[in-house]
Amino acid sequence: MSNAIVNKADTRPAGAGPVRVMIVDDSAVIRGVIARWIAADAGLAVAASVSNGRAAVEQIKAVDPDVVVLDIEMPEMDGITALPLLLKACPKAKIIMASTLTRRNAEISIKALSLGATDYVPKPTSVGAGDAAEAFRRDLCDKINALGRRRQAAVRAVPAQGGALSLRKASMVKPQIVAIGSSTGGPQALNQVMAALAPHLNVPVVITQHMPATFTAILAETLSRHSGLKCTEGADGMMLEPGRVYVAPGDHHMLIQGRGGPIKLTQTPPENFCRPAVDPMFRSIAAAYGAATLAVVLTGMGADGREGARAVAGAGGTVLAQDEATSVVWGMPAAVAQAGLASAVLPLPAVAPEMRKILGLSR
């Protein structure tokens, strides 16, 4: 038995009305909790609720959801096995991996991103009352809304928002550091950018990607494998070395206290609901490096990075932003671009070449 529940009332053309969600989890309790959260959001609707990957694969084509929330550990067929089959049956669906926060599940979630999943959410040990459950609810519903609307726009072939953007002149000072901020869609984008940036990189790179603890260590390992660069989580007191990459560890803001470091990790309150957040890292680098800063804002929800980019621009540094067409969610880079803080707004494949040009790296 699949314990399937299909909401017949919500069967309507994809791209119209509420974002339609398929819930795939072997826990009836978790399916019920997520379904209640979705029902409480006027912009969302449960399209189907099933207890394993096999049932999801069997039903997804008929259900045609905008978003699938996919558990990793399930009987009959687990999430990582179901993922490519779901994408084959419904290529435009956005899939969010959901798993309890263990190293194994974090590794599987990062692997799932490379196989076509769009994002991930770590499940708390309890989905009852409490701060962790509320954070999970907000994170999950925000991602469902953002990704679902993106999928609906793609189905309807809605043109990119575009419009004229006010661009700043790039700094005339050669950068001595690269700072990158990203969120939803960030791991895939970072892999692409860092692999293309790697040859002859001669400045340190610091990265804040919205991720929980455990995930950030695995992200650093993944970036190392893809780029050939030495990538590590930042640690308190660590000095920066040219050609190395430092990833802000989950649950800590990462600050740079002077040219060359040291790194300072803090657990001051979240900013933009995030810790680590991009804004505090950008602000610290603007203070330390001034016009010798190259800041890059890649795909992600929300506006984290905008005020930090404002500090970089105010100090005379250069800011680049990813464009809408190639962003999984054009939130963070849009906030920077629409505030007139970017020197260029670029498709993802053009980001690393522009960075190499600004850094004066050989082709």
What residues are annotated to the active site?
183, 210, 304
Those residues whose C-beta lies under 8 Å from the C-beta of residue 131, and which sit 6 or more positions away, are none
Rounded Cα distance, 310 and 323, in Å: 18
> Considering Cα of 363, then 232, then 322, then 44, what sign does the dihedral take?
positive
Calculate the CA 91 to chain-centre distance.
Answer: 20
* Dihedral angle of Cα 106, 111, 117, 123, to the nearest 10 degrees: -10
Whether 255 contacts 154, CB under 8 Å: no
Residue 340 has which token pair? 């007139």
Rounded Cα distance, 312 and 339, in Å: 13
User: What angle (nearest 5°) sits at the alpha carbon of residue 305, between those of residues 299 and 311?
Assistant: 145
Packing angle between helix 103-114 and helix 79-89, nearest 10 degrees? 20
Those residues whose C-beta lies under 8 Å from the C-beta of residue 240, and which sit 6 or more positions away, are 177, 204, 206, 246, 256, 260, 261, 263
Q: E strand or H helix at 121, and its extent?
A: strand 119-123
Rounded Cα distance, 336 and 74, in Å: 40
Residue 282 has which token pair? 């950008």
Whether 273 contacts 235, CB under 8 Å: no
